[in-house]
Structure 1
Amino acid sequence: MIKVPRGTEDVLPEKVELWHHIENKLHEIAKTYNYKEIRTPIFERTELFQRGVGDTTDIVQKEMYTFEDRGGRSLTLRPEGTASVVRSYVEHKMHGFPNQPVKLYYMGPYFRYERPQKGRMRQFTQFGIEALGSADPAIDAEVIAFAMDCYRSLGLQSLRLVINSLGDLESRKNHRQALMDHFTPYKDELCGDCQLRLEQNPLRILDCKRDREHPSMKAAPSILDYLNEESQLYFEELRSYLEKMDIAYDIDPTMVRGLDYYHHTVFEIMSDAEGFGAITTLSGGGRYNGLVQELGGPETPGIGFAFSIERLIMALKAEGIDLPLEDELDCYVVSMGDEAKKEAARVVYDLRRAGIRADKDYMDKKMKGQFKAADRYKAKFVLVLGEDELNEGKITVKNMQTGEQKMHSLEKVVFYLKEIMQGGRQHG
């Protein structure tokens, strides 16, 4: 028996309805925030992620699925969304679009080779947004509000927003030197990865999971102590916008993002729900002010966030939230006799063309078995068609909630049910 590859999973039909509900909600929120969907290829040239994500990141060094095509070109299954979106932004010259900033969102499968664990798979579904073209702290606040609304709209309450500033290039340069001076005496005590990071990107040491308990971590210089006046003002403006929106936040000066291109605002949203797990991060994002240039475009500021839908579903379970899912069938047609069976196929087809969720038996079950199937499908109405009804040009319609049952003309039954269904959905 062939099984799914390690780190992947099948989403079975009984769970897909939950995914549809979440995806539809995310599409709705994107519309209210005036973000447009973009769909990029599942694989890109490897160079895109080496340049766009950063050679010093774990993603590029350890987690990418990279292969050569028949032409000898190195391609990589996309491990994250921002680099692809920015590549498309540059390639299609979106900086020249009349409406600025360009506000985009995406949703789809992404791939990282890491040890599979609860909520972290090798193939995962990511939702994310990018706002490109504005250097206003107000757009940072909008992006954070968007992220919070994604969770709140689905009923999550045990949320904690954590923010930090990485400052501009000057601030980061000064902080980088301070980190190098601080960690160099402890170099031999750090893991192999952090010894490399000390030379390449010492900020990434603060994000290390293996060395997080090392005494040097607690005493590491804070970026907030190295922000120049402009960066301090930017951070204060962001906080004032969040406070105006009544969005509560904590400041964590040790928080960094795993990608090299972030500047100024970085943030994470955590779940404080009991039983959610040791890794509490639901979502992360931040501002990147050099990525468009790195990928061949003009100097363009940007900000975005992304999250795993699998982890969102974990948070819903941890808080015991049951979403209102539409998994009921509108109509199930029960038939007895060869001619009635053929007519039932026509009735089901006409119901479906009218936008009514309908089905019938395809297993030659007896009438009792067909009624049991209607119950399993949670059909709101059962239509019964036998030889006698067929001869009279009628069909029996039974309301499964009230038990009421009436005969209707075969010609008009679809019109009758369509009126009931539309009225029920409008009032539901």
Structure 2
Amino acid sequence: MMIKAPRGTEDILPSQAKKWQYVEAKLKDIANAFNYNEIRTPLFENTELFQRGVGDTTDIVQKEMYTFTDRGNRSLTLRPEGTASVVRSYVEHKLYGDPTQPTKLYYIGQMFRYERPQKGRNRQFVQFGIEALGSSDPAVDAEVMALAMESYKTFGLKSLKLVINSLGDKESRTNHRQALINHFTPHKDELCNDCQARLDKNPLRVLDCKKDRDHPAMKSAPSIIEYLNEDSKKYFDQVKSYLEKMGIPYVEDPTLVRGLDYYNHTAFEIMSDAEGFGAITTLSGGGRYNGLVQDLGGPETPGIGFALSIERLLLALEAENITLPIDEALDCYIVSMGEEARQEAVGLCHNLRLSGLKVDIDYLDRKMKAQFKQADRFHAKYVLVLGENELKENKIAVKDMGTGEQSEKSFEEIISFLKKSIKGEVK
């Protein structure tokens, strides 16, 4: 019986892999332009990292983690998100002691969550994320949101909306927390089991509930904006001022809360308004997490970051009918006839590849006509033909597949000719 990929995973076949490569390369270029450096963390971590870092009241920790016990009886978890791993590495390797502060990092990697698979949401998915650690300057918040927006705009996406909110500092959150408890307690029995459990531990998570989103108490719940103290208001105003200086439009939404426990002050999401994108419009999200480094054993250190799903980015491109400018064509394909010509063709193919050209050759002993068809399938820019006559004259027949023009070149000049014609390089 045929074995299939596990539910919630998918194979990225060659026809799609080039899109992924293009998108990932562009995202890395953007991160580099903002002076963020790549970090790579393990696919699995000690389970405690996510219990402490993500929060034991979150859906991720309670319901969605892939956790297992290894042969040493250690509890390990496939990473469900990137921030906790990056901060763990930041603390473990004492990056806070590096003189170049703030520490600005980006990552691209696979994450794992056991949730119901649906369009654009798999159990194994790829995230691009950035983390800026060591600065409490509101300009850094604006920079992170600018980088997030540019991560979509660079591909030509237009139907974007940046939604922002402030979750306030510790004092503001404490006051808001009590107000939420007072508000929801009379309705506790009407809420789902998850919300009933969260109400005392982390009532802000009640606002993020998908089951109870239409409950009347949700609409009348006290807003965090009402409980922001002067410092938090000033901070949020500065963030908005920097966004305006950058010319980045935004929408304030006092009901926006992020699904992870570590956020404070700035929280944001980027959404797609494109028709056909689907009911779940959120493309990415992030926010500030000033207490997370300390929670994971490091010194008191402010931080902010965001993450986006590559899968949902590709869906957004599809929804806006954007075609990525990917050149899939071969530079040249070598057609050979006869064993001696075949020997020369193999050596020529190798030398052309070493010179930086994208080249292929027939490996199925096809007839000449079939070899030309294969060159067409590869969208080869040039076809090089080697046969007995060409070998006798030390020549290579060259066909420009774009113009149909044919010529002959010597073995000595073929590389410089192709590099000049294809790459625009001077001999």
TM-score, structure 2 as length reference: 0.99
Shift of 1:420: 2.0
Work out the CA distance in 1 between the residues paired with 2:423 and 2:159.
Answer: 37
Aligned residue in 1 for 2:239: 238
Secondary structure (helix, strand or coil) at the match of 1:406 reads: strand
Residue 340, structure 1, aligned to residue 341, structure 2: yes
Work out the CA distance in 1 between the residues paired with 2:372 and 2:109.
Answer: 39
Residue 60, structure 1, aligned to residue 61, structure 2: yes
Work out the CA distance in 1 between the residues paired with 2:110 and 2:418.
Answer: 39
Aligned residue in 2 for 1:217: 218
Secondary structure (helix, strand or coil) at the match of 1:56 reads: coil
Aligned residue in 2 for 1:83: 84
Secondary structure (helix, strand or coil) at the match of 2:334 reads: strand
Aligned residue in 2 for 1:400: 401
Aligned residue in 1 for 2:269: 268
Secondary structure (helix, strand or coil) at the match of 1:161 reads: strand
Work out the CA distance in 1 between the residues paired with 2:419 and 2:348.
Answer: 13
Secondary structure (helix, strand or coil) at the match of 2:340 reads: helix
Work out the CA distance in 2 between the residues paired with 1:255 and 1:284.
Answer: 10
Work out the CA distance in 2 between the residues paired with 1:326 and 1:57.
Answer: 43
Work out the CA distance in 2 between the residues paired with 1:405 and 1:367.
Answer: 16
Work out the CA distance in 2 between the residues paired with 1:8 and 1:294.
Answer: 32
Aligned residue in 2 for 1:302: 303
Aligned residue in 2 for 1:279: 280
Q: Percent identity?
A: 70
Aligned residue in 2 for 1:3: 4
Work out the CA distance in 2 between the residues paired with 1:209 and 1:371.
Answer: 57
Shift of 1:18: 0.6
Work out the CA distance in 1 between the residues paired with 2:363 and 2:288.
Answer: 56
Uncovered stretches (5+) of structure 1, i.e. residues with no partner? none
1:95-145 residue CA offsets vs partner (Å, 9 max, x unmatched): 111111000000011000000000000000000000000000000000000
Secondary structure (helix, strand or coil) at the match of 2:212 reads: coil
Work out the CA distance in 2 between the residues paired with 1:53 and 1:326.
Answer: 41
Code of the aligned partner of 2:4: K
1:320-357 residue CA offsets vs partner (Å, 9 max, x unmatched): 00010021100000000011111111111001000000
Aligned residue in 2 for 1:92: 93
Code of the aligned partner of 2:40: R
Code of the aligned partner of 1:278: A
**Is contact 1:35–1:105 with CA below 8 Å preserved after alignment?**
yes
Code of the aligned partner of 1:122: R
Aligned residue in 1 for 2:25: 24
Code of the aligned partner of 2:127: Q
Shift of 1:418: 1.8
Code of the aligned partner of 1:70: R
Work out the CA distance in 2 between the residues paired with 1:347 and 1:397.
Answer: 13
Code of the aligned partner of 1:357: K
| Equivalent residue runs for 1:330-369 within 5 Å | 330-369=331-370
Work out the CA distance in 1 between the residues paired with 2:423 and 2:316.
Answer: 34
Secondary structure (helix, strand or coil) at the match of 2:278 reads: coil
Work out the CA distance in 1 between the residues paired with 2:308 and 2:33.
Answer: 19
Shift of 1:392: 1.2
Shift of 1:417: 1.0
Code of the aligned partner of 1:332: Y
Shift of 1:181: 0.4
Work out the CA distance in 2 between the residues paired with 1:241 and 1:269.
Answer: 17
Work out the CA distance in 2 between the residues paired with 1:352 and 1:199.
Answer: 65
**Is contact 1:17–1:326 with CA below 8 Å preserved after alignment?**
no
Aligned residue in 2 for 1:40: 41
1:351-370 residue CA offsets vs partner (Å, 9 max, x unmatched): 10000000010011100000
Work out the CA distance in 2 between the residues paired with 1:412 and 1:247.
Answer: 53
Work out the CA distance in 1 between the residues paired with 2:159 and 2:123.
Answer: 27
Secondary structure (helix, strand or coil) at the match of 2:304 reads: strand
**Aligned-residue RMSD, C-alpha:** 0.8
Code of the aligned partner of 1:84: S
Aligned residue in 1 for 2:383: 382
Question: How many pairs does the alignment contain?
Answer: 425
Aligned residue in 1 for 2:105: 104
Code of the aligned partner of 1:211: D
After the TM superposition, which of the residue ranges 332-341 and 415-424 deviates more from structure 2? 415-424
Residue 168, structure 1, aligned to residue 169, structure 2: yes
Shift of 1:422: 2.2
1:148-203 residue CA offsets vs partner (Å, 9 max, x unmatched): 00000011000000000000000000000000000001101100000011011000
Uncovered stretches (5+) of structure 2, i.e. residues with no partner? none
Work out the CA distance in 2 between the residues paired with 1:295 and 1:215.
Answer: 38
Aligned residue in 2 for 1:125: 126
Work out the CA distance in 2 between the residues paired with 1:190 and 1:246.
Answer: 42
Code of the aligned partner of 2:86: V
Shift of 1:279: 0.4
Aligned residue in 2 for 1:146: 147
Work out the CA distance in 2 between the residues paired with 1:369 and 1:200.
Answer: 69
Work out the CA distance in 1 between the residues paired with 2:97 and 2:210.
Answer: 42
Code of the aligned partner of 1:335: S
**Is contact 1:381–1:397 with CA below 8 Å preserved after alignment?**
yes
Code of the aligned partner of 1:323: L
Work out the CA distance in 2 between the residues paired with 1:348 and 1:415.
Answer: 14
Shift of 1:421: 2.3
Work out the CA distance in 1 between the residues paired with 2:329 and 2:25.
Answer: 18
Code of the aligned partner of 2:156: G
Code of the aligned partner of 1:327: E
Aligned residue in 2 for 1:49: 50
1:229-262 residue CA offsets vs partner (Å, 9 max, x unmatched): 0000000000000011110000110110011010
